[in-house]
Chain A
Amino acid sequence: MSSRDNILATLRANRPDPAAHPLPPVAMLGDMDNSRQRFENALQLLGGQILLPEEGDTLATAIARRFPDAKIICSAVPDFEGTIRIEDIESPQQAAATDVLVVRSPFGIAEMGSIFLSEAQLNSLNSAAHLTQHIVVILSEDNLSANMHTTYLERPEFHTANYGVLMSGPSATADIQGVLIRGAQGVRSLSVWWE
């Protein structure tokens, strides 16, 4: 007998009575506020930032001001130029040279300040979202879901994307004597630009 069949047979013999453990209905709990304010509060708690436009700012001028030393700015959106387009990066490893990646997220979660990215937004170059030093995420407040329950129920991406990441602020660690450090191994900063 294969290990697969062996494991399944043991489970069938050993499991508790299925009739005694019915599946509860899908949970829909908690605060249903999907406001921009709630999202921003949550994002800041997790170390994310809002890229605020100043008078007459475009995304390009705001990025130039926020990242004055950035040499390679990679764009994954049609409406922003950057110094290189994501389509022109040839391998997952090559994305490591990127200083700033600009990408559009299809939705955010107000409860967590999370933004979602999949291969659809990254031109199938998923590594770009993690090898870049900084990430700027374009998001519309029309696309905010209230909490984790509403998100998993509402968003079709969880049933279609091969790779789907919820990023909640930048990478972080507290593995050395409990000191919280933002910018561990993935992005050093995550900024949201409202559109």
Chain B
Amino acid sequence: MKVKPVNHAKAAEEFLEDAPHLTFHDERLWDMRQKRDQQMHLLPEWQDLRTRASEIKEHTLANLPEYLEQFEANAKKNGIHVHWAKDGEEHNRIVAEILEQHGAKTLIKSKSMVTEECDMRAYLQPRGVTVTETDLGERIQQLDDQLPSHIVVPAVHKLVPDVARIFAKNYNTDPNDNSPQSLAEAQRMAARPVILTSDAGMTGGNFLVAETGTFVVCTNEGNADLSATVPNLHIATLGIERLVPRMADLGVFVRLLSRSALGSPITQYTTHFRGPQKGGEMHIILVDNGRSTRLGMEEFWTSLKCIRCGACMNTCPVYRRSGGLSYGAVYSGPIGAIIDPTFNERKYSTLPFASTMNGSCTNVCPVKINIHEQLYKWRRVLAEHHELPFVKREIMHMAGKLMGQPKLYRTAINGTEVALSTLPRFVLYNWLNPWGKHRELPHPVKQTFHSWYKQNRLKKDKAQ
């Protein structure tokens, strides 16, 4: 069966209908963007940091095989078991095998986008492993059976009553509880016993350090450190692109990460795992899942520089008004729109069009990924691969013809002015004009710039 493309526009339409959720979502993310700006303005070296971060990442990606080997050798020397997974299925199998060897039936985990990518919970659950997310936002999403809608704040599309309803169902709390404090306390109380009795713990990670064989986890709630230090078995899953060469390179990235993400100078916890704790066992799974192929895509490989801060999502007008779930993918927002098509070109063919091309994502990216240019390039690739829907393809085809011939274009433009001011609404606003949904077409102008120029300037220019 052929995969159907995600209908982002339709999902966004549904999101737009709910005013309280939409307003909160839009304002909350914009607030994060503004807090990021305040932090940026405090550091005169901000642009230097971005340049360094970009250069370090590009260097690392160009030397990825050597650095991965160096990382592996050092991690093994420190007593870490290192595994390699070419895709999600292999990753999940490795996790299941480690758990089985230890007879582990319960797993507590902190947030990890890679395990979402691999759909790990769905694999482990039927094999008798109970997986409990311990990050508050991720737990809310798990209980509500939804993907995270944002890579940093997974439940940002929900309001207090939504959380109260979910917790009431699962934690027996008051469904009318409208205090975020008491709901967060309910999560703490519910998570503690699970953490204390769990057979194994799992974390993701933000950075791998080749020089020392260390991996670094940046979090705020303390749940990742609990997951890693309470059970004696710790499994960590990271994408192979997470490498930096030297310990000292972390300075650049740690200074950028939380400032870009939340507008706080640093996450509450920045934890460096270099080896198992006393009496414990530590495994790390290095996941490819399409990354090595992406490295070979000349126009798109730099998307692998991403440090998953979410700044591009917070600033994106389309993301803020459509919500992460509307992307129908593990990664949403601008960064999602350029990496999702590498996982499934047809399924995610609509996502690169979820942008106004304003370039704000590129401007805020701490590792200088040219996100909006890649969005544009993806549109071209998708058109070449015939992954455009009919209306978009035909409109682009006509527009292309029109713009390629100045005379035809001018006639049409003059005609448009007449049409906009005289045609009845049903002709202008219909399924052939998706742009006109939820938007008014621009007011017709009395005269085009071209005809004004011809009248007023061209003669004078000639006279001189």
- Residue numbers of A with Cβ under 8 A of B are 2-4, 6-8, 10-18, 20-24, 26-27, 29-30, 42, 45-47, 92-93, 96, 111-112, 114, 119, 124, 126-127, 129-131, 147-149, 151-153, 158-159, 161-179, 181, 183-187
Query: A175 to B135, Cβ gap below 8 A?
Result: yes
Q: Are A130 and B266 in contact, CB atoms less than 8 angstroms apart?
A: no
Q: Which B residue's beta carbon lies closest to that of A153?
A: B248
Given contacts A46-B264, A163-B271, A166-B270, contact A16 B62 (CB under 8 A): yes
Tell which of B221, B251, B278 touches A148, judged by Cβ atoms closer than 8 Å.
Answer: B251
Determine if B229 is an interface residue (Cβ-Cβ < 8 Å).
Answer: yes
19 extra A-B contacts, CB within 8 A, seeds A4-B84, A175-B153: A7-B84, A7-B292, A8-B68, A11-B295, A15-B64, A20-B62, A24-B52, A30-B255, A96-B196, A130-B229, A131-B230, A158-B272, A162-B277, A163-B275, A164-B274, A166-B266, A168-B270, A179-B180, A186-B222
Q: Does any Cβ of A come within 8 Å of B316's Cβ?
A: no
In the complex, B383 has a CB within 8 A of chain A: no
A187 to B222, CA, bound (A): 8
Q: Are A173 and B229 in contact (CB under 8 A)?
A: no
Cα-based distance from A10 to B240 in the complex (angstroms): 12
Complex Cα–Cα for A171 and B48 (A): 30
- Interface residue from A23, A159, A178, A185 paired with B222 (Cβ < 8 Å): A185
Q: Mark B43-60, 1 if CB is under 8 A from A, else 0.
A: 101001100100110110
Docked pose: A11 CA to B64 CA in angstroms:
7
Give bound CA distance, A20 to B55, whole Å: 11
Residue of A nearest to B276 (CB): A162
- Given the known inter-chain contacts A30-B43, A42-B265, please indicate yes or no for A158 contacting B247, CB distance below 8 A: yes
Task: State A165–B270 Cα separation when bound (angstroms).
Answer: 6
Closest to B256 in A: A148
**Selected A-B contacts with CB under 8 Å, 24 pairs:** A3-B90, A7-B288, A10-B295, A15-B63, A18-B63, A23-B56, A24-B52, A46-B265, A96-B196, A111-B255, A124-B278, A126-B229, A148-B254, A164-B271, A168-B265, A168-B270, A171-B269, A174-B153, A177-B158, A178-B24, A178-B28, A178-B31, A184-B223, A185-B221
Most buried by B among A42, A47, A93: A93
Question: A48 to nearest B CB, angstroms?
Answer: 9
**Candidates B55, B220, B230; contact of A24 at CB < 8 Å:** B55
Q: Which of B55, B188, B251 contacts A149 (CB 8 A)?
A: B251
Q: Is B78 an interface residue (CB 8 A)?
A: yes
CA distance A126 to B269 in the complex (A): 14
Task: Say whether B31 contacts A127, CB under 8 Å.
Answer: no
How far, in angstroms, from A79 to B46 measured CA to CA in the complex?
Answer: 43
Closest B-chain residue to A124, C-beta based? Answer: B278
B101 within 8 A of A: no
CB of B132, distance to nearest CB on chain A (Å): 12
User: Among A7, A20, A26, A173, which residue has its beta carbon within 8 angstroms of that of B136?
Assistant: A173
Nearest 10 Cβ contacts at the A-B interface: A186-B222, A14-B296, A171-B222, A175-B137, A162-B275, A10-B292, A184-B221, A124-B278, A149-B251, A179-B180
